[in-house]
Chain A
Amino acid sequence: MLKGKAFKFGDDISTDDIVPGRLAPLRSNLPELAKHVLEDLRPDFVSRLSPGDFLVAGKNFGLGSSREHAPLSLKMAGVGAVLAKSAARIFFRNAINVGLPLLICDTDAIDEGDELEVDLASGKVHNMTKGTQLASGRMAEVMLRILEEGGLVEYIKKYGDFELP
């Protein structure tokens, strides 16, 4: 069970918003890169984030580049999970591969600062502040398994190959 408060963002948050190209020199220094996530949109995001808090966004989250540094640095900055109405394909897969949970649900029902509880196994999102419950879309079985192992590296270390259910 994940617990934290919501940081609300809009639609179409791109990987250039999350980790802009100008920070490319920091890409081999992830702890430093993580201090800058989303700074062009919200300069105080990282400083206000407590470990486990949720990034709540609108549609098409993570569009753009394939840079896996985007979900990795969100995770390293302390984001517990991303909740969005929809997510770009490469970002979604990357997030799961690095062990950052990403749930698709109707985020209109969540406001900035709401306290949330997320149960990954059932995909249920409990909005404690509003006393409401949200269901999230089910992800492919292979993705769930990768997430359960904590990411693709751990999964491959364990199985040595892809195991389709």
Chain B
Amino acid sequence: MGKTLAEKILSWNSGEDAQAGDIVIARVDLAFIQDTTGPLTVRQFRASGFQRVANPGRTVVFLDHAAPSPNRELANDHRLLRQFAHQVGAQLFEVGEGICHQLVAERFASPGEVVVGADSHSVTAGGLGAFATGMGSTDVAVAMALGKTWFRVPESFRVCLRGDFPRGVYAKDLILHLIGSIGADGATYRALEFTGETLSKMSISDRLTVANMVVEAGAKVGLFPSDEVTKGYLEEHGRGQGYRPLAADPDASYERTIEVDVAGLEPMIAKPHAVDNTAPVQELRGTKVHQVFIGTCTGGRLEDLAVAASILRGRRRHPDTRLIVGPASTSILIQAMNAGYLETLVEAGAGVVPPGCAACLGVHQGVLGDGETCVSTGNRNFRGRMGNPEAFIYLASPATAAATALAGEVADPRGFL
């Protein structure tokens, strides 16, 4: 019988004939930690008696979540991580270099690899055809030391995409629609495998955005096949040798197939306090917004800043609505500078923060006040997520976020393009 993408990759990496439901021990091609989960990884690594990592060149430490450090405690966590990286020879990405998942996509992940990160959005690299998944600190400590981990091979849902994206509708709207329709636990323990004619028109930026958020439906991994688009991206990033074409077998067996005609989608928004609490943007029009945040591993890529700039060009944010922009990596920051996007955004009233997670997780750079509302291009709107349980977070595309910054209230980007 044919194999799903998940079964294929886990078969290669385990040397077994892996089928959904099996437990396998798989080789780990890349293991990484970041500054909020990493200190515990280091402690568990040491508590387990490990001295060395299996593969220093493929062991990475990112300082991105609370970077630059907002206080003494987190500064000391950064110190611990720098020491650890030095001790084991791991690669270190410093404060201001970017968000772990974006850097993993730009620098490391290739199709067919197994990638584990101590961060739930490690699924992002599934956009490049890597079996990428998030784990806890201890699991990643062990994966770093042994160069392997155990997996239960997931059952897969196939998500078939057809049609073209209408004007003003983006990958973010697609994934919000999908999560809204299957629910926050709709794909728990499953692999979501994307296929269909729409894929050839989806950039890697689009695919990373979709893969990033599959965890918001509970999925273990969100897999895109590896094709010409993937090849182009890897070559552009000087990693063309990592390319290999990859797709599920035509006779693979899926637990469920979900069909989406993207031509029928409209701009979507997730309302407080759950990602699956979605509605068309139209229904929320007029909701007063105090802060717009364009950034994160979901919505801080070059394409995201480009669309925001195209909406904000020659205009000015609403006086009662502050706008924070956080490019996802240094290379995005530089490209956005060269393309003039940053100038446009700053002239429109944006405050630009250095590449990193910034306001996304509620430790600094955009914590919300009591009763305030934020439209974010991020991936989570749980109560308290942006540092204040009395605040309200809506999730939307960069285009919707930009339109909202202009209007001072939730706005449909189609009126501004």
Interface residues of A (CB under 8 A from B): 12, 14, 16-17, 20-22, 24-29, 40, 59-60, 63-69, 71-72, 86, 88-90, 93-94, 97-98, 140-142, 151-153, 156-157, 161-162, 164
B279 within 8 A of partner (CB): no
A-B contact pairs, 21 of them (CB 8 A): A17-B383, A17-B384, A21-B36, A21-B362, A22-B387, A27-B77, A28-B73, A59-B185, A64-B380, A88-B185, A90-B135, A90-B136, A94-B136, A94-B138, A97-B136, A97-B138, A98-B136, A140-B23, A153-B48, A157-B48, A157-B49
The smallest C-beta distance from B30 to any residue of chain A, in angstroms, reads 16
Contact with A along B104-134 (1 / 0, CB 8 A): 0000000000000111101000000000001
B73's nearest neighbour on chain A, judged by CB, is A25
Residues of B within 8 A of A64 (CB): 120, 380, 382
Segment at the A interface, from B37-45, B158-166, B192-200, B258-266: B37-45
- Contact yes or no, A20 B25, CB < 8 A: no
- Contact yes or no, B188 A89, CB < 8 A: yes
- Contact yes or no, A22 B362, CB < 8 A: yes
Within 8 A of A (CB), among B20-43: 23, 25, 36-37, 39-40
Residues of A within 8 A of B363 (CB): 21-22, 24-25
- Contact yes or no, B138 A151, CB < 8 A: yes
* Separation of A85 and B49 alpha carbons in the complex (Å): 36
- Contact yes or no, A63 B184, CB < 8 A: yes
The answer to whether residues A60 and B184 also contact, given A24-B65, A90-B135, A94-B138 and a CB cut-off of 8 A, is yes
- Contact yes or no, B220 A89, CB < 8 A: yes
Which of B49, B71, B189, B385 touches A89 (beta carbons < 8 Å)?
Answer: B189
Interface residues of B (CB under 8 A from A): 23, 25, 36-37, 39-40, 44, 47-49, 65-66, 70-74, 76-77, 80, 117-120, 122, 134-139, 142, 146, 148-150, 152, 184-185, 188-189, 218, 220, 274, 361-363, 367, 380, 382-389
- Contact yes or no, B118 A66, CB < 8 A: yes
Residues of B within 8 A of A152 (CB): 44, 48, 138-139, 142
- Contact yes or no, B185 A66, CB < 8 A: no
The smallest C-beta distance from A140 to any residue of chain B, in angstroms, reads 6
Residues of B within 8 A of A157 (CB): 48-49
- Contact yes or no, A40 B39, CB < 8 A: no
Residues of B within 8 A of A29 (CB): 73
Residues of B within 8 A of A140 (CB): 23, 152
The answer to whether residues A93 and B135 also contact, given A60-B218, A88-B185, A164-B150 and a CB cut-off of 8 A, is yes
Residues of A within 8 A of B135 (CB): 66, 90, 93-94
Residues of A within 8 A of B73 (CB): 25-26, 28-29
B380's nearest neighbour on chain A, judged by CB, is A64
